[in-house]
Chains A and B, each alone.
Chain A
């Protein structure tokens, strides 16, 4: 792939990126969240068409019009979210969309061939999975192997794996690596995308680093170390790694507003997380996608599963089983997925802003329209929400203004703790600064603020202190001059 560029409305996702992989080579592809790894692979898979640039396979230029073309060319992509049908068995998944059939007008399924071929492919990668096993009953690792078998049965000569070990245990991951090395020795080209730099270090012959949609550098075996990768990922020379710089904080036990004590989340049930946030403090939570940040936020705010542990507010333990419980206690969430969880697009700015505290504007269950309109209007003005009127449906607003509406929902409740999950994702630069001011204002008014962000500059600039997560645990907390992008990245890829 040479000179690949791809633009989305308002964003340049890829800018003249070069990428190549040879037969029998394992190439690691790394970069921060949003660096362009997935987009590049979607171009390779025929899902996106590049605006410019060329793709060549075995020296011959190819043009792909859809994922089916990539499959025909021998490019097999295993996405992070495995695209398997749960209710079908392994054989049916391996042949999904290209089922062999018997001769004759009925085109009856040739189950015998499907199962025999599936068994052969699974045996080749050393996975003992019966072809008739329902995918629903398989473990995550076994599903991963079914996906690999599917790619192999399509005669994939180029295999792309996107975060294949994200939900695998150490032993399962080892088995996958063995399979990949075996495939490598049979001349399959492999692209391995992972945030786990250790895996890249041990597995890859070469690592290609992307940053902001551009090539940031390539490291070959020998020069391929974690520190060098981190340096290329954040684009600055790594200073003295400032690990585990414990904050020298004054002993003010009364200032602790939120205390998360040994909480386990549904995604990482084996890991306990503890943290504290003071009144007036903004705690940034950094980490790569899948590091368990959102799950922690959801556990605090009653949205997700809290398998164990306690949440204390001003020293008092809370019973939180639903968002309603959390809101009653004064803990509010500005969720990551704005359209699904943050706003009700078909409802007006007014109706969205007043939804959580509606009973406060009502007598005997009947809403006082005047009070409601006044409150919503004041909030919209205070937050500088740009809308034709507060009666406009929220769906018609820009991302930044929708986000202000989400914050506006909580303002009237005077939150004691407010958790922001990716507060400026999909928000333009101007609104971004306004949201940062708003976060600071909430803290100044005494709230304890938790801000999850993948935006390194945002984390460094807007937080008082930064906790970094990796694989569900907090790998370190940084503040003051020790809080640099390099130090954060070091902890994030631990």
Chain B
């Protein structure tokens, strides 16, 4: 673990200790399971957005992707009666395609990531509402695809399934980012894209894949979230989720300048945010302050990043 990760972990543990001391409910099995379920769900797409942020980009579309894919999943299973396995495969493939489309627009055409994914945010939200005719979708009793529902609401030995899935995704992402050729290229592009290109790294391909991965992970989360809520109102489902993801990545040590970040950090960041929300719940802080608490946390993360960068960069010698 790096020093940054250790710092976040200590912060997380301290926060847990404070909440546990203030509210005995925190340590109850039901509450821990609930928090774990949320950490898993949000953690998966946060890892995707974190990978994009490491390239120096941003992905604002994950919330709307979540809504569109949630609506489509419900319609595939309930209205069109697709086999569950085919529906899941289609959803994940569709997420990957949307992400890849963002990646190609950004890497090939040179559009700005913020603009491309902002358009995605608007586009998919509109598509979700149109496809669903603006009516709320659900899964009813879920007859015929119980095992899919178990992905969201089931547990293994008391550990919620989404948390288990996040651990699997995180392990795979850790190998990809910190042990593979692709991961090394990803960090190289984020830190100095020009030098990476001069070294023969296919910078465009690296960037395009990052967005495709973010799309895939958003799709996996979309499946879980759809079954977790069991009620998908296309206008509000997944609202602000992209911001949870960005917050998790930044709190977890990713720099929006690119080139900095780790899978462990992102997961810890996602966990920190969920514990904060839990804290708002348990400590009888008005629920309306939910976002205010998160905003404050993101701000602190950004300030810390800035101070760190300023201390790190020594001014170069003056030269004619």
Contacts and interface: CB of A to CB of B under 8 A. Distances in A.
Interface stretch (A67-75, A256-264, A360-368): A360-368
B225 to A, nearest CB: 30
Given A8-B318, A355-B188, A358-B185, A366 B197 contact: no
B192 A42 contact: no
Given A8-B320, A323-B197, A367 B180 contact: yes
Contacts of A346: 191-192, 259
A470 B197 CA distance: 29
B311 interface: no
Nearest to B260: A346
A362 B179 CA distance: 9
Given A344-B188, A346-B191, A355-B199, A48 B181 contact: no
A92 to B, nearest CB: 26
Interface stretch (A24-32, A333-341, A441-449, A484-492): A333-341
Interface in B184-198: 184-185, 187-188, 191-192, 194-198
B194 A341 contact: yes
A409 interface: yes
Interface string A355-381: 110110010011101000000000000
B184 A351 contact: yes
A31 to B, nearest CB: 13
A324 interface: yes
A252 to B, nearest CB: 31
B320 A39 contact: yes
A345 interface: yes
A323 B180 contact: no
B308 interface: no
Interface residues of A, number: 36
Contacts of B179: 366-367, 369
Contacts of B185: 358
A105 interface: no
B320 A365 contact: no
Contact of A303 (B181, B192, B198, B202): B198
Given A42-B320, A345-B192, A347-B187, A362 B180 contact: yes
A346 B54 CA distance: 13
A323 B202 CA distance: 9
A61 B268 CA distance: 64
B175 interface: yes
A302 B320 CA distance: 29
B192 A365 contact: no
A38 interface: yes
A204 interface: no
A194 to B, nearest CB: 17
Contacts of B317: 8-9
Nearest to B197: A323
Interface string B197-211: 111111000000000
Interface string A17-56: 0000000000000000000101100100000100000000
Contacts of B259: 346
Contact of B175 (A303, A335, A340, A366): A366
Interface of B: 175, 179-182, 184-185, 187-188, 191-192, 194-202, 259, 317-320
7 contacts: A48-B318, A323-B197, A324-B202, A341-B198, A347-B191, A358-B185, A362-B181
